[in-house]
Amino acid sequence: MWNLDRFPLDKSVKIFNIGLGEANLLNIAGGIASQGNTVYIYGVAGFIIHRLEQLKFSCKHFGAKKGKIIICNAGKYGYEKLGIGHKLDDDEAIMKMLEIPFYSPKNVNQFLSIIENIKDNGIYYIQLGKDI
């Protein structure tokens, strides 16, 4: 069980662990964002962004119209030993194809700056390695 006490969250923050249902995760995120909320998605890159139908329709064209969806994906570096599904080399091309802003911070400070500067509703993709 995770120790959520270490996260400085207020009472309005809800954390959901969807497990291995990445397509469902994107549909749920779109629904939550459509109510004006900010949703953070975190997971292994290949398992999330290759769910193009849900990413495009549920998130970009439905949820992100009224809320924010910020995808923070692990998988660029540090996951090579877990197999090709855990390491991604086409995430930037997919985001460009879908016209989703793409960020690739090099350290934690850059990551936090990106998060703090996302003000507008929409969908955003932050490429992370295992160490960020």
| pLDDT confidence of residue 83 | 75
Q: Which of the listed CATH numbers 3.40.50.720, 3.40.50.970, 3.40.50.10420, 3.90.550.10 matches domain 15-128?
A: 3.40.50.970
- Per-residue model confidence (pLDDT) at position 45: 76
Tell me what pLDDT residue 76 has: 65
Q: Write the DSSP string, 75-96.
A: -SSS-GGG-GGGS-SSHHHHHH
The total number of residues written for the chain in this structure: 132
For residue 75, the model assigns a pLDDT of: 63
Q: What is the pTM of this model?
A: 0.85
117, exposed or middle or buried, with CB in 10 Å at 0-12, 13-18, 19+? Answer: exposed
Give the three-class secondary structure for 10: coil
Q: Which amino acid is located at 37 in the chain?
A: N
Residue 128: burial class (beta carbons within 10 Å; 0-12, 13-18, 19+): buried
Q: What is the pLDDT of residue 9?
A: 57
Domain extent listing, the chain: 15-128
Q: What are the per-10-residue average pLDDT scores of the chain (132 residues)? A: 53 73 91 93 83 93 93 72 76 93 91 93 88 62
